[in-house]
Structure 1
Amino acid sequence: MERKVRKERVGVVTSNKMDKSGVMQVVRKVKHAKYGKFMLKTKKIMFHDENSEAGIGDTVKIMETRPLSKTKNWRLIEVLEKAK
């Protein structure tokens, strides 16, 4: 049996103060249903970071996984760009 394709997201890390965890913000543009204006929608996602690689301001890629805790069901794949 083949595994299904898992969701992936790219965003900016906003917090890494926890042990083996981080929070990132995903920003997307959504068109308003009535007025047609594009708006920015943001979503905070908590992810598992085994080696605590991600720092605040880094751009990271995460993947959906099984629930690891009450709030974590994403895990870090790679750090795309380090903060300057």
Structure 2
Amino acid sequence: MPKRILQGAVVSDKGQQTVVVSVERMFTHPLFKKVVRRSNRFHAHDEKNEFKVGDLVRIQECAPKSKLKRWEVIGLGSKE
């Protein structure tokens, strides 16, 4: 099964080898037909502590590394 890859902004880098990434998605509401924005926060493994708050990063699913970490940072994201 392929691993999911998501892109989001780092909102916290307080943990050791961990960053919290906020991933935002947009969709049309089925009843009101308005565009709605929703976000999820993922704890991701950052091996070298190289990413700081505000960085746009790409994360990928991985085997569980701790109680909350099931994602790992694979690099910087694009500004598209």
Shift of 1:32: 0.8
Shift of 1:30: 1.5
The question of 1:77 aligning with 2:74 is answered yes
Q: How far apart, CA to CA, are the structure 1 residues paired with 2:54 and 2:68?
A: 21
The question of 1:35 aligning with 2:55 is answered no
Shift of 1:79: 2.0
Gaps of 5+ in 1: none
Q: How far apart, CA to CA, are the structure 1 residues paired with 2:32 and 2:14?
A: 40
Q: How many residues align?
A: 78
Gaps of 5+ in 2: none
Structure 2 partner of 1:61 = 58
Shift of 1:57: 0.1
Structure 1 partner of 2:42 = 45
Query: What is the RMSD computed on CA atoms of the aligned residues?
Result: 1.0
Q: Percent identity?
A: 31
The two structures have a TM-score, normalised by structure 1, of 0.88
